[in-house]
Structure 1
Amino acid sequence: MNRATPHPLEAILENRIAIIDGAMGTTIRTYGMTEADIRGDRFKNSTKDLLNNGDLFSLTQPKMIGDIHRRFLEAGADILETNTFGATSITQSEFFVDDPREHGGRKDPEFYQKIIEDASLNDLAWDINETSAQQCREWGDRVANNDGRQRFVAGAIGPLTVSLSNSPDADDAGFRVVTFDQVKSAYAHQIRALIAGGVDLLLVETIFDSLNAKAALVAIREVFDQDGLAAAGKELPVMISAAVGRGGETLISAQTTEAFWNAVKHVKPLSIGLNCSLGPDLMYPFLSELSEKADVAISCYPNAGLPNPLSPTGFDLGPEDMARSLSGFARGGLINIAGGCCGNTPEHIAAIAKALDGMHPREIAERNREVAA
């Protein structure tokens, strides 16, 4: 992406490891919210269960969401993610539209065209994104004013509940439930709402399907061009982060780490990285490969190990474990941005921030020279 002047975060990444926040869903669960809490008045008559639709809490429980943002910021986060992982009309339709498969039908492009054109779903998606961005902006600025350290709001753009790369029909390998243009349209609506809410960055994250990510990146480019941001030199930096399996491949599209970088590097992102996935230990070799190939900042915010229903957070690793692992990444010269995904609470982020304080970031300028050579 092209910008008239360097973004303030770029200077930080040259001098220290920036901290991104932890898991909103994990932290929400510690507040003991119920179905009635997430519904509030606005959604009290919804016919489907909503408790797993954590993005709605930005609308119905803003004080709780604000408290979570505050805790992550006070734990040391420089980058605060909006609570918008599933805030597109496509993903929200899972909670508000009857599934045609329950009545002998199927989800297909005709079904999703109605979703894309549904005014109520579009209004809901806009409200979630704009409101969440405003909440992050408010708390980021409030804490920054108190301690004098600038904070940044990243508009979180999740992977969707549909895939452009794979067919769900074993008898029809060419079938896709949704089209590229439909996915792009849903993402463009989300992106515009995030920008309206005041985000500093756009984060395309937890990528398991590279083609879905491509649609998001094309949508970003088109929004910048169509809305005059490019002409005004006001394009926002873009961060890209993929989820990988045990072989280092994106989970559905099965691109290797290097292939994934080659597929998106033309975007000239602020950062490329890995998140979610299998926990820090299993992520190390793939992060190392990405760090070797990419000529931009590297981000890493893994799950707190593997899922464990007996753990208080639902994942194996505690704050000290995550701090130790990410310190190892830093000592290896692999990262510029560090934090945690699923299972990482504010306590995890505090431990990571403390462990990485004073540690040198990966040399981006040096990497640029090596790649150019």
Structure 2
Amino acid sequence: MTTTSQHPLVEILKNRIAIIDGAMGTTIRTYGMTEADIRGERFKDAKKDLKNNGDLFVLTQPKMIGDIHRRFLEAGADIIETNTFGATTISQSEFFVDDPREHGGRKDPDFYQKIIDDPFLKGLAWEINEVSAKICREWADRVGKQTGRPRFVAGSIGPLTVSLSNSPDANDPGFRSVTFDQVKTAYAEQVRALIAGGVEFLLVETIFDSLNAKAALVAIREVFDEDGVELPVMISAAVGRGGETLISAQTTEAFWNAVEHVKPLAVGLNCSLGPDLMYPFLSELSEKANVAISCYPNAGLPNPLSATGFDLGPEDMARYLSEFAKAGLINIAGGCCGNTPEHIAAIAKALEGLPPRELGERSEAESDANEGVAA
């Protein structure tokens, strides 16, 4: 059983700011991949376009994915994430199953039950997660051995393409296209595959629907209990201009109150509107939470004229993140959309030698990772 108090990252967080990697999707763009590249031989006959299904690259272009992990590690990342942001049966169905709305139907719980039960999608989701974790694990271990500095693998668990909090039908506000149990089942399968691949943490990230995240956290707890395993969990939300999660509209403080019982290794903010607009909400979270604080913002706002598709360059991100560090707000720092290995290298250099946010002592009962995660 791995507990928060036993994990070597805990000591690192007490002594310096740990660096998490940048944006896989943004960096993939720099390799000039085409539709044919993501399809490969295996998916050459797929009926829908697959290029935006970035998770699939771990199966068709594993060397490229490994090279991206290597570059982030050599840039200074202590933590690299699996390329599994959308690696659930539910999210993968967007690329492999006909949309019933195109034929006068709608996506509803009956539709998603077929998705959950589909052998192809179940096998595909498992394979993406397990293979991605193994690629991450290989490169983290390789670079860690070369540098004499341990590197860690976080299993990325994204927010899904459906919402439990809101109805997709403006004329039927009580309607939900998917059920809590269906979402929980999809997440549980992802969690098991990530663990099988060798991740050290589970990272529930880019939370814009708190109920979806709740289903993921319940799934994690149930997998831990049923399989006799325990890993640290990190949780990160995406917020809008008012500091609320984008769909469920929880304030920063309410978000923390909703996940505090999980006793995560770290809680934080990512993606969102860029570092400048994130500052007040990160400050509030840092004040309220009694665990490590993570921060990996977008590189500003989207900009199609930019090489990365976002406004801010490496020097800009380094400046903002160093301001967060000097204010005593963060323990883990990195970048989300628009952040390449060059961005992470600049952030790592800027934060070198800056003290981390001070971590308070937690009681013995709180020290076990995720103890007491409730349904």
TM-score bracket for the superposition, by shorter chain length:
over 0.9
Q: Which runs of 4+ in 1 moved over 6 A?
A: none
1:287 is aligned, of 282, 296, 309, to 282
Answering whether residue 238 of structure 2 is matched by residue 243 of structure 1, we say yes
d(CA) in 2 for partners of 1:123, 1:175: 29
Deviation of the 1:248 alpha carbon = 0.2
Q: Secondary structure at the match of 1:365?
A: coil
Partner letter of residue 211 of structure 1?
L
d(CA) in 2 for partners of 1:296, 1:83: 26
Mapping 1:39-50, distance limit 5 Å:
39-50=39-50
Q: Secondary structure at the match of 1:364?
A: coil
Q: Structure 1: which 5+ residue stretches go unaligned?
A: 230-234, 369-373
d(CA) in 1 for partners of 2:154, 2:185: 20
Q: Which position in structure 2 is the counterpart of 1:130?
A: 130
Deviation of the 1:303 alpha carbon = 0.1
1:232-267 Cα deviation digits (max 9, x unpaired)? xxx100000000000000000000000000000000
d(CA) in 1 for partners of 2:257, 2:90: 28
Q: Which position in structure 2 is the counterpart of 1:337?
A: 332
How many aligned positions are there?
A: 363
Mapping 1:219-368, distance limit 5 Å:
219-229=219-229, 235-365=230-360
Deviation of the 1:172 alpha carbon = 0.8
Question: How large is the Cα RMSD of the aligned pairs?
Answer: 1.2
Q: Secondary structure at the match of 2:21?
A: coil
Q: Which position in structure 2 is the counterpart of 1:8?
A: 8
Q: Which position in structure 1 is the counterpart of 2:163?
A: 163
Q: Structure 2: which 5+ residue stretches go unaligned?
A: 364-375
Change (3 A) 1:4 1:305: closer
Deviation of the 1:354 alpha carbon = 0.2
Q: Which position in structure 2 is the counterpart of 1:183?
A: 183
Partner letter of residue 95 of structure 1?
F
d(CA) in 1 for partners of 2:3, 2:119: 33
Deviation of the 1:5 alpha carbon = 4.9
d(CA) in 1 for partners of 2:195, 2:167: 33
d(CA) in 2 for partners of 1:4, 1:40: 40
Give TM-score scaled by structure 1 length: 0.96
Q: Which position in structure 1 is the counterpart of 2:193?
A: 193
Q: Secondary structure at the match of 1:288?
A: helix
Change (3 A) 1:293 1:5: closer
Q: 2:17 touches 2:356 (CA, 8 Å); kept in 1?
A: yes
Deviation of the 1:6 alpha carbon = 1.9
1:13-44 Cα deviation digits (max 9, x unpaired)? 01100000000000000000000000011101
Q: 2:82 touches 2:153 (CA, 8 Å); kept in 1?
A: yes
Q: Which position in structure 2 is the counterpart of 1:25?
A: 25
Deviation of the 1:3 alpha carbon = 2.7
Deviation of the 1:7 alpha carbon = 1.1
Give TM-score scaled by structure 2 length: 0.96
Change (3 A) 1:284 1:4: closer
